[in-house]
Amino acid sequence: MLFRQITDPKLAQYAYLIGCQQTGEAIVIDPERDIDRYLRLAAAEGLRIVGSTETHIHADFLSGVRELAERGVRVYLSGDGDEDWQYRWPEAGGYDSVSLHDGDTFEIGNIRFEAAHTPGHTPEHMSFLVTDGGAGAAEPMGILSGDFVFVGALGRPDLLETAAQVAGAMEPSARRLHASVQRFLALPDFLQVWPGHGAGSACGKALGAVPESTVGYERRYSPALEAAGRGEEHFVSYILEGQPEPPMYFARMKRDNRDGPPLLGDLPEPRRVAPAELAALDLEAAVVIDTRADRSDFMARHLARSLCVPLNGAFNTAAGSVITHEANDIYLVIDEPRLEEAVRDLVRIGLDRVVGYTTPSDLLRYFDDGGTSARIPETDFAGVCEVLAAEAGCVLDVRYASEYQAGHVTGAVGAAYTRLPAYRDRIDRSRTQLVHCASGARAAVASSYLAREGYDVRYVNDAFTAYGGGIERARREIPV
């Protein structure tokens, strides 16, 4: 059996290629939408992808299962769970698909997969027990646990409510997750655990950075499993507490992955926009994503209505949080060697209309030649204190609610940057907004978004630990 874990470090997502070397057949589990890399990997190993599956209807990226089905690959998808969260696209598209229920099995070459319904993170969630029949094994060697069991954590059960806006879903989902945990704990200790995400994913809290584990290790050392062992009520409180606010794009991913992700085909190939052409861009209709790493450079000079989204580990989360319409034409300010990286990041969250780009050097040449630029005033926490003393503005804290509740500027309003468009109409437009986070990174994204929306903004480029004013812990976030 050939086993490969394929990592997307920005989404902390794991896909898997599992192949039978005796028959040359392979399956891809939880693929992202740009499937060319899985096809290349399989070919390099002398394998042909004949099957694809996913553990659940994902919220954090668009699935590549439909892309593979379009190429004639048989797909295996959960048929268990809530009727509102059943896959709608396989039958509508006439694809070669198999609906799986708890206990169903299928084979790829001499490798056997057994579906186990493990609801909680989502109603339809499936895990897969993998047995290497080609090696003569009669029992599984591992479990593809998807977003059910992570290293040191469990998948969050609140997303149907907090992301997809299904009222009242999170507590029943947490109770279903507790029941699924009991099933996991009945598995043998030696079984390997191959999760769908690692540290940095928004699909759980406190995920470990180690890419795989075993049932026995998780039984002994997972805080989430320890909480489950203390009873259902304790577990429900534990698993729902402190979950970060999900990015705005999660609801769209859930919908599209259920109904059918738009087919991607080849990657977009944006054209290079010369400095002389920048003045002609329709900045009201298009979205400009400025990926420069230096946030102060952006604040000092940028194209009007640009979004400051550095091409770092939070790129998908930030872009998906502040771009709320996937039909917008997108232009990038980016160094050319990283263009394909950014394009892949964006199409993985359904932002396909990447039509053009300019380089940072071309942008600065445009400004130096007299091109129109915009700026956002920048300050630090000493400046914040001066503004507050003069009663000339108010503080907007764009950290997560758990950070806000642990301590915030007295009088500040909390509005997590991942949900900022939902808070937009509740933020006071008549006052200057002093926008901060823990380090300045999230506040840069939020400041550029609010400036694009017409707010008077001051960007706080400083560490929250530098704040020397009053701290309070009362809850004052803007309710969604």
- Asked if the structure places residue 480 within a domain, the reply is no
Number of domains in the chain: 3
Q: What value does the mean pLDDT take over residues 166-177? A: 96
Give the Cα separation of 428 and 400 in Å (integer): 20
Q: Tens digits of per-residue pLDDT, 45-69?
A: 999 999 999 999 999 999 999 999 9
Say how far apart CA 343 and CA 358 lie, in whole Å: 14
Q: Tell me: the pLDDT tens digits for 90-149?
A: 999 999 999 999 999 999 999 999 999 999 999 999 999 999 999 999 999 999 999 999
State how far the Cα of 212 lies from the Cα of 222, in Å rounded to an integer.
13
- Do 385 and 410 belong together in one domain? yes
Report how far apart, in Å, the C-alpha atoms of 51 and of each of 77, 93, 103, 234 are.
11, 17, 18, 40
Distance CA 442, CA 435 (A): 9
Q: Are residues 250 and 275 in the same domain?
A: no
Q: Do the domain assignments include residue 63?
A: yes
Per-residue pLDDT tens for 347-395?
Answer: 999 999 999 999 999 999 999 999 999 999 999 999 999 999 998 899 9
Residue 50 phi/psi, 5-degree rounding, is -115, -10
Are 178 and 304 found together in one domain?
A: no
The answer to whether position 373 is within a domain reads no
Shared domain check, 251 and 275: no
User: Both 330 and 238 in a single domain?
Assistant: no
pLDDT at 39: 98
Whether pLDDT at 262 is above 70: yes
Do 358 and 403 share a domain, yes or no? no
Task: Scan for tokens 């534990």, then name that residue.
Answer: 238
Which of the four pLDDT bands, split at 50, 70 and 90, describes residue 479? low
Mean pLDDT of 160-185: 95
In a domain, 479, yes or no: no
Predicted pLDDT at 326: 78
pLDDT at 152: 96
Quote the pLDDT of residue 467. Answer: 93
The band of 261, judged by pLDDT with boundaries at 50, 70 and 90, is very high
Q: What is residue 151's predicted lDDT score, i.e. its pLDDT? A: 97
Does residue 87 share a domain with residue 214?
A: yes
Task: Judge whether 264 lies within some domain.
Answer: no
The percentage of residues in the chain with a pLDDT greater than 90, rounded to a whole number, is 91
- Contact 129/113 with Cβ under 8 angstroms? yes
Could you tell me if 154 and 233 lie in one domain?
Answer: yes
Do 285 and 233 belong together in one domain? no
* Same domain as 150, residue 67: yes
Cα-to-chain-centroid distance, residue 383: 34
Interval 421-469: pLDDT, tens: 999 888 999 999 999 999 999 999 999 999 999 999 999 999 999 998 8
The CA distance from 396 to 443, in Å, is 9
Last residue of a domain, one of 233, 259, 285: 259
Domain span including residue 399: 378-472
pLDDT value at residue 476: 58
Whichever domain contains 295, its CATH number is 3.40.250.10
Identify whether 216 is part of a domain: yes
In this predicted structure, the answer to whether residue 475 has a pLDDT above a threshold of 90 is no
CA distance linking residue 380 with residue 460, whole number of Å: 5
pLDDT above 90: residue 472: no
Last residue of a domain, one of 368, 386, 419: 368
More confident residue, 454 or 83: 454
Q: Is 160 inside any structural domain?
A: yes
pLDDT band with cut points at 50, 70 and 90 for residue 82: confident
What is the per-residue pLDDT for 303? 98
Output the pLDDT for position 478.
73
Convert the pLDDT of each residue in 307-318 to its tens digit. Answer: 999 999 899 999
Here the CATH number for the domain that contains residue 186 is 3.60.15.10
Whole-angstrom distance, CA of residue 269 vs CA of residue 163: 31
| Cβ contacts of 358-361, under 8 Å, gap ≥ 24 | 358/272, 358/273, 358/274, 358/275, 358/278, 358/331, 358/332, 358/333, 358/334, 359/272, 359/333, 359/334, 359/335, 360/292, 360/333, 360/334, 360/335
Three-class DSSP category at 112: strand
Average pLDDT, the chain: 95
> CA of 195: how far to CAs of 55, 230, 286, 464, in Å?
10, 24, 38, 34
Output the pLDDT for position 456: 97
Alpha-carbon gap, residue 394 to 402, rounded angstroms = 21
Final residue in a domain of this structure, among 218, 237, 259: 259
User: Among 177-186, 196-205, 292-301, 353-362, whose mean pLDDT is lowest?
Assistant: 196-205
Name which of 287, 178, 167 is nearest 228 in CA terms: 178
How buried is 301 (Cβ within 10 angstroms: 0-12 exposed, 13-18 middle, 19+ buried)?
A: middle
Please report whether residue 221 resides in a domain: yes
**Largest Cα–Cα distance in the chain?**
77
Report d(CA 323, CA 288) in Å as an integer: 10
359 plus 218 within the same structural domain: no
> Looking at residue 205, what is its pLDDT?
87
- Please check whether residues 218 and 294 belong to one and the same domain: no
Closest CA to 293 of 330, 244, 338: 338
Q: What is the mean pLDDT of residues 263-289?
A: 95
